[in-house]
Amino acid sequence: MKMFFIKPKKNVMFFNNKGFTMLEMLFAFSIFLILASFLPLSFRFLFHDWGLDERTQRLEWAVFINQMKKEVRLADDAEVFESRVTLKVAGQNVSYEKYGSNLRRRVDLKGHEVVLQKIDSVSFTRINGGLKMVVKDIFGEEYSASLYHYADWDISDVP
């Protein structure tokens, strides 16, 4: 049984005695460094979830507004200011006010409970039988809710 071996033909253009010059090596290395420098930036864009903050903000708003509705229903009286509301609940004054980029809740002017984060502006207005709240977040979304108290309370409006 005969075996035939195929010998690869040498091409003069690819096999020469000049070798890989220093200039070619520096050029190839500079291209590699440029590509490697863009790699961390591409990871940031590939793995960043752009809508996560906005979705979290909507969920936080839904939880907050349900808590606020409950507290307004339990309130005996309320004072509505432009950027603050004070509810009288079980003999305690519960106030909601903007503090930096947060909306905080305080009981009898004590404590600091953050109930909404990343907000740009908040406004409270008196409506018949309750109050209206408008919040604008740092993403440009505007949320509003009307909160009603079904018992007979007179909301005092302080300018």
- pLDDT at position 155 is 47
Whole-angstrom distance, CA of residue 94 vs CA of residue 16? 86
The percent of residues in the chain predicted with pLDDT above 70, rounded, is: 77
Contact 117, 100 (CB under 8 A): no
Domain range list for the chain: 19-47, 52-157
Give the chain's count of helices (H) and strands (E).
Answer: 2, 9
What are the phi and psi torsion angles at 64 (to 5°)? -60, -45
What are the phi and psi torsion angles at 26 (to 5°)? -65, -40
Condensed to tens digits (0 to 9), the pLDDT of residues 77-129 reads 888 888 888 888 888 899 999 898 888 999 998 888 888 888 889 998 888 88
Whole-angstrom distance, CA of residue 87 vs CA of residue 64? 16
